[in-house]
Structure formats: structure tokens, C-alpha cells
Structure 1
């Protein structure tokens, strides 16, 4: 490695795994693994190294790639006008990925493993969107319930490992969700306990009583890796098949609930607090909601990069007005945080041209993200008797995006697990806008609100008749 690349500042031979992490995608490798790398460099916590794991085909490919590199990979931080690279050495191995997850269960049975952490995406928790609770009827869950010793899901493997640890008289590991999901610890507990209850109610009761599921808030913008990112690594003379690029900013806020112990992550910038919910609401409503606000008008206008959307005065003003007028007033106070300053930080982060995050990535999976990031804000505005014109216009822009063509006539490739359902509903909504709000799995009972339906109808008709730019300009003009 050239001197311009930072190497692990510790002896990797002294590391031993204390954490099994399921889902070693870009976000995990630019976030949790980096914090641990920083901690190890302080000559602390060497028995908390990572053992990579996964349950899907993509995880098997990542395993093969990382094992060829001894678990090493590069993280390139993209500050405006300045890039820096470092090699991360926090991973000591990667469990075999195979149907039935025998190797993963065996790894989690090991008493040396005291934390099992996850990044399995927002949509990976088997939540019924109609009830916003765990769905025991999902085919994956039913399959694991019928075959508890050879599960295919991450949650089935966790249940099997906890069963084995209980039988062996070993303390349970802590299950630490690192996904961008509201109340992520509670959601993960519901999935694990709910699945266990289907095959072993006594075990489920033990998990509910004995296993810790701390809530956390995680944040770092981390684009997907493609040719551009690999070329960046090559510019640093790094030969890396799995480089990660990310913004310089990162944040991790957690409840301090780890009965089996934890690494001293507070020494490297992690915030431990009982008020995770307040940080979480701030981030989800302002940052993740903000992503959606710029994504769909950008997507409709064939804008490729997020920073290009932010350079458009109309889209930037749209983001600022919705956040200022409709979102910030309903976000509860956060200890030590000024919400206006946080909003400005988000705008600056979105505008960073070096990150080159794509509008299409922000548009991805709206059927899972809108009910978490946008619709709760609409509900809160209704509850307060306050206007929600901008948020509803955003919903109309999402509907128009899901029609499947941009405003220039280009086809929009499928960009949601429920794309066929969304495009069909968007086609109905072109003639009858209320049809979009009838998707109860997304909007719940909001489609029964006559006033909201009228506001949405007006917004969607304006988008179809005059285009997104004119509809946004009308909103900005009041």
C-alpha cells in the first residue's frame, strides 16, 4: 500500500471474533466495521472482531470476494474536493452461506459470540404493512416454522442458535439491529420472538425475557459500488474487488443494553443514550424523508445524481420548504441537537458532488420506505390540524414516478419489490387519483380521509396536466 492509504493500526493476528454480523453490504462495511477498526487501533476490544455472515445469494458472492482478500477491503471517504482511503481489518472470517444455515447457527452457538448484528435492509423484517407488525403468515416465516432446525432466514438461524445456547446453559447473545428501521430493536425482537412462537412457545417466552434487542440509529450515506468506485480505489493503487465509498459524516446512537458485554464504542464516537427514539425520529423524518422529497421529482426529470438534483433551484427549494414548514414542527426535541442546524447539515450532505449517490437508489423500494419515512409525517400533520400540501405533493410525484415513464418519455426500469402492483395502481390513478390511496398496505386508512383525498387529487392532476416543475412551483408560491 502507498503511504497515502491508511492501514489497520493494530495486529490483526491478535483479533478474535465476538460479533457475528449478518449482511455485509456496503453500509455495514462503511459504518459498524469502521467504528470497530477505530476501536482496535486504540488497542481496545480485540476480542470483539467481526465474523461475516449472510443468508442470501449476494452474501455468498460477498463472502467469496472478501475471503480472497483475507477479509480486507478499502473505504474511501469523499469529502468535497478531497478523497481519503483506508483499509479496514475488523473482519476475521466469513461463515459459509448455504441452505439450512448450519454453519451460521454453529457460529452463533459459540459462547465467544456475544453480539449478533444485522443489516438486512428496511424491507427484510417481515412487517405486515397493514398492521405495521410482524407477519407470521409470510411464506419464508412459515417455511422456517415448519423446519426450525434448517431455517433459511436470518431470524430462523438466530432462533435456532438461541435454542442451542439455552440447551447448553450458555448466556444468550445480544441481537443488535443496524438497519434503518424505526424502533429497530423492537422490530427485530418481534421477528425473532414471533418466529420462535410458531414452533416453540416456551423458547419464545425465554427469548422475550432473556435476550436484549437494543434500539439504535445509524447514519452514513454509502452509494452502491460500481466501475466508478473501483476506479477510485485503483487511483490509490489499491487492488480491491469490494471497495466502499461514503461521505465523511457518520453517526451511531444506541441504547446501552448489552447483558453479555459490548465493545467500548463510546471511545470512537458512538452515542449511548436512552433517547434513541428521539434521534431516530429526527433522522428518519428529516434525512430519509428528505431523500424521498428530492428523489421522485429528480427521477421524473431524468436527473441521475443526487447532487445534480440538489443543484436544481426548484428541487432544492422544494426540499427546504417541506422540511421547514411541514416536518421540523412535528419532530420532537432531541437532546443536544438543533433541528434547524441538522436540516442544514442534511442539505449540505445531499449536495456533496463527490459522493455521486444516484437518484434511482433513493427512489428504490418506495412501497417499504414511504410508510416509514413520509406517511407518519402526514399522519402527524393531520393530528395537529396542520397543512400537509408538500408531503401530499410528494406522494403524487411518487405515484407519477411509479407510472413507469419519466416526463421525457423514457421507461423507468422496475425499482421496487412491488413494482407491478405500483405501476398498475398508478395507471388507475391517472384517471382516478383516489385509487393510489386505496393501497391500504401502504396508506392504511388515509384513503378514507375525504379532505386528504381531495388534496391528493388536486396535486396528482396538476402533476399530470402541467408537469412536476409547474406543480412544485405552485406549491412554493403558496
Structure 2
């Protein structure tokens, strides 16, 4: 049965208990990919099913050209979609109705008008780790990027998320209205701080006074978000049809979900604590735990598995060498570099990470975990290396992880299979990775990724040694050498 408002009552899966006609937009969201739709929107849907938060419905805002197709697909089914939560033993489908509109890309005036509307209390973002224009060498926003510079030169017709947010905030200031809160939901350390810098510095390019007003008056709460959410393919669309729903944009995800958020919403917020969000004064401990143990763990799994032609993440977890590598690096180097987290056992958290990655229902791919290493490594791996070096601790396992990433970027697996481009900077990475086979310093010399960490002699020696072993002996033998298997 086709998914739309008219058919909701007759669908053979759980559907919203609230009247969607009574919802009012209160959140403008940028980046309506699978993660947002299986995370933030699910929490809001839970709250709305409790009879609350009906004035915080989601208005999507398209920015990238590819958003047009996603918008059209969702519009054709009244912005409804199915989320299928999967444990190892069960699949639980539910229709989510928290989104009520999706503004098509290419019309900045429409987005700015929605941001300027006093009903909008929050502008939220899931634009991926690479969407924040961060210079890895400095760790700060790159206001010289051509896309940002263009918005600075023409602030009335912005084309980036940050330019649109600045224009919306300017309209609120000029109308003497309270600004909306800007809530980042991406996997970036101190994501609120990062987003604030991006918005303030984009504004400064065209209006220093506005930039100062934003810095003084707009809230940017930090948050930690977590849920494994693979991309949707024809496989998932076929699976949801077998469940009785004709949905062209379903989301399949694990049954685990977590959101820890700083409670800093001067313009108001939905009572998401009733739906399972944990509000705290400082999210940093949870953030570091998740980014280093889970996201760093994904990288530790991904590159050896990719080089050994393993397709799915759960298959990698069934491989004794990959699992032993993950456990050794996590226990010897990563977990000891994570500060204590209130009311949390780090070993229990890691055990849960292992369980989640081993879930065969998710169908998460190694290729997805390998994606965009040039943006992910500086956030998920290199800070742990830097901290351990500063403390005089070994980085053998993390140096091997870095060597595995380099070897992967050379463009072929151990079997000789070609690795298709899997990073926005793939051409550059492949060229440098191939040069690094004879000159390992070339890889660590990418200061936009490694900063000063690549200059550390101990790290450089370990990296070069492991990279040589990977080329000489292959991935499996190198993992055996490291793990003692």
C-alpha cells in the first residue's frame, strides 16, 4: 500500500497517533539524510505520539542540488517515511510523521523567510563532518573557502547552509525578534562551538556588527548523537514492500539510539527528555567517548576489512583478525585516552559497540565506514594519537590504523581489486598514498590532515614500519604480527 496521509489508517505497520494536520513548523533542518530521519526526527515523533511538541514539526531545507530529488520523493508521500529498527532478532517498522515540509534547493529567499518566521525556534544541521569547512591544520573554520567567500560577497543570495543561517538571523535581528537556536547534530567534537565559529565568521565577511550580535545572542548547544544508519538501496525498498508498505524512502537502522544535549535553548525547545534525550550541562565527556571509541572504532574495523575485500561490517566482526585488531587498539590505546564519563562504564560501552557492529540485520557496509577518511581521521583518530604522544604513550596500533588508511587510499585491495573513489579528495589521496609506498613521509606531510602530529618522530617511525609491512606481507599477515594471533 502506497505510503501517504490518505492510507495511514490502513497500513500494516505502526503509524503516528497524532493528527498531522495540527502540526506547526518549529524546526528548520538542513541535511535530511538517513541519519537525521532515523535520529532527531524519531525523537520528535516519539514526543508527538505522547501528545506534545506539535509546534516543533520539521521543515526541511534543501541546499545541495541532490536535495531536489530527495525532496520530490518525500513530497510524493506527504513527507512520511518508514523507519525500520533492527536488532539481531527482530525488525520493527514505524511510519514517522514529524516532517511536514521540505523546501527545495535553489530558492534561498524561501528558506530565509522560514528562518525569519518567529515560529521557528531551532535551526538544526546534519551536513556531515566534511560540511563545516574546517582546516585540519588549524582546527578552525576556513572563511577563505570559495563557497563561503561567495556568500560573504553576496549575503542576500546565499548558497551555503551557513550563509542561509546568517541571513535568517539578520532578518530576526532587523525585526527585533529573538534569534532561533542553532543546533548541530553532526559527529564533530564540540559541534556547537564549531558551528558557532562557522556562522559568526561567515557573517563577519559581510557585516561585522551582525557577527558580533550573533556571537553575543545566539545559542549553539553542543550535542552527542549516535545511531548506526546505513544508506538506503533497492534492497531496503524491497524489504519494506515485503512488510506491506510502498515507501520509496525508507530508513533501516539499528535499534540502539542515543542523544546527549546541552540544555541551551533560549527561544524554547520540545520536551525531548520525555522521549529519551539526556540533557546535561557539558556534553564533552559523552562526546569524546563516542567519537573516539565508536567512530574511531569504525575506522579501525574499516580499512583492514576493506583491504581484505570484506563487504559488510558484521562480516568484518566475524573475522578473527579484524576483531582482535579492534579489541587490542581500543583497549591498549583508545579507551585509556578517554576521560571518565558520568555514570558510564567505558568497557561496557565498548562491549555495546562490538555488539552493534556485529548486528547482521543492519547491512552496514565497509565501504561506508571507509568513506571520507580525509575529514574523519582528523576528528576521530588523530586527536587520540596526539594525546597519547603528548603523554609519552605508545601509538603502535593507531599508527597501524593510519598505515591501513594510507594503503587503502592507494586504490587497490590486497587481491588487486580496484577500490572505487571513496573520498572527496580521492585523487589527491591516491597520488600521495602511492608515493608513500617509497616515501612514507609524503603521507604524514599532509598537514591539512595530520597537522603537527605527522611530524612526531615516534609516530612517523611506527607508521613507516607498518606501511612497509602492509605492502610487503599483506593485511592479514600484518594484523597477525600486531595482534599475536
Are 2:359 and 1:359 equivalent residues in the alignment? no
Q: Quick one: distance in 2 between partners of 1:253 and 1:448? A: 35
Cross-structure match for 1:206:
213
Shift of 1:81: 2.3
> 2:205 is paired with a residue of what secondary structure?
helix
After TM superposition, the score normalised by the length of structure 1 is 0.98
Contact 2:308/2:413, CA 8 A, preserved across alignment: yes
Deviation (angstroms), 1:130:
1.3
Aligned-pair CA distance for 1:240: 0.6
Aligned pairs for 1:87-236 within 5 A: 87-98=95-106, 101-236=108-243
**What is the CA-CA distance between 1:4 and the residue it aligns to?**
4.7
How far has the Cα of 1:115 moved from its partner? 0.4
Q: Secondary structure at the match of 2:437?
A: helix
Per-residue CA deviation, residues 132-174 of structure 1 (Å, 9 max, x unaligned), is 1000110001100000000000110110111111111111000
From 409, 421, 435, the equivalent of 2:442 is 435
What is residue 68 of structure 1 aligned with on the other side? 76
Match of 2:35 in 1: 27
Residue correspondences, number = 477
Structure 2 unaligned residues grouped into runs of 5+: 1-7
Within 5 A, what are the aligned runs for 1:309-328? 309-328=316-335
**Contact 1:402–1:419 (8 Å) recurs in 2:** yes
2:408 paired with 1:408: no
2:4 is aligned to: none
Q: Distance in 2 between matches of 1:454 and 1:225?
A: 41
* 1:166-219 CA-partner distances (Å, limit 9, x unpaired): 111111000000111110000100000000001000000000000000000000
Q: Aligned partners of 1:217, 1:313: CA distance in 2, in Å? A: 31
Q: 2: distance between equivalents of 1:459 and 1:314?
A: 16
Q: How far is the alpha carbon of 1:272 from its aligned partner?
A: 0.3
The Cα of 1:102 is off from its aligned counterpart by 1.1
Tell me the CA shift for residue 3 of structure 1. 6.6
| 1:345 aligned partner | 352
Q: TM-score, normalised by structure 2?
A: 0.97
Whole-angstrom CA distance in 1 between matches of 2:342 and 2:297: 21
The answer as to whether partners of 1:30 and 1:246 remain within 8 angstroms in 2 is yes
Task: Check if 1:41 corresponds to 2:20.
Answer: no
Quote the Cα distance in structure 2 between the aligned partners of 1:95 and 1:107: 9
Q: Distance in 1 between matches of 2:260 and 2:139?
A: 23
Segments of 5+ residues of structure 1 without an aligned counterpart are none
In structure 1, distance between residues paired with 2:438 and 2:104: 51
> 1:27 deviation in Å?
0.4
Secondary structure at the counterpart of residue 66 of structure 1: helix
3-state SS of 1:472 partner:
helix
Q: Does the 8 A contact of 1:95 with 1:107 survive in 2?
A: no
Matched, 1:85 2:85: no
Aligned mates of 1:255, 1:4 — CA distance in 2: 38
